[in-house]
Amino acid sequence: MKVNITARHLELTPALREYAEKRLQQVKKYTSKITTVHIIFNVEKDRHIAEVILHISRNKINARAIAGDMYAAIDIVMDKIIKQLRRHKDRVKEHRDMPSYSMLENLVQSERKKNEENESRVEDIKEVMLQRHDTNRALDIMEEKKLGFWVFEDSKTESVSIVYRRDNGGYAMIVVK
């Protein structure tokens, strides 16, 4: 981490430099990706101004504080920087925790496949010609072929009907109108 300290309209004492660097060490706890830091001390009449510009990866964090003396201004500006770093760190963490677009796309595709598998419970499809019979002939065909049901066109009513074997051994019929 490269640290530049600039003093405008005041003499940069070793004590002031040391205090600023000491407070900067507290900022380092929040991120290790600080590339450069530029600290600017300025005095205008009786106002002491401390400004910090922090470069983190591809981001830049600025803070400025005005106080009655320079040490108080340094404390205020470093507190502002720490607050901004916390917010930055939270934003980066939230962004990192969000699933990526490709991950979401894969999740959607896998859900679609599961739904398709669940929807296609039909294992086998057989096509048959609809034949015209009376009900007794349909029951005979069902018995001959040992089927559970038979679909036919009823010769009396001319509608599609289904005869099927019930659990109790009897027969039932559904007439489609």
Residue 105 placed within a domain: no
Statement to judge: residues 83 and 137 lie in one domain: no
CATH for 143: 3.30.505.50
Statement to judge: residues 39 and 90 lie in one domain: yes
Q: Are strands 149-154 and 132-133 parallel, antiparallel or unpaired?
A: parallel
Q: Which residues contact 176 (CB under 8 A, 6 or more apart)?
A: 159, 160, 161, 162
Q: Which residues pair with 41 in a beta bridge?
A: 7, 50
Statement to judge: residues 85 and 40 lie in one domain: yes
Q: Can you tell me whether residue 118 is helix, strand or coil?
A: helix
Please give the chain's pLDDT, 177 residues, in tens.
899 999 999 999 999 999 999 999 888 888 878 899 999 999 998 999 999 999 988 889 999 999 999 999 999 999 999 999 888 888 877 766 666 656 667 767 777 777 666 666 666 767 777 888 888 988 898 888 888 888 888 888 888 888 888 888 888 888 887
The verdict on pTM exceeding 0.75 is no
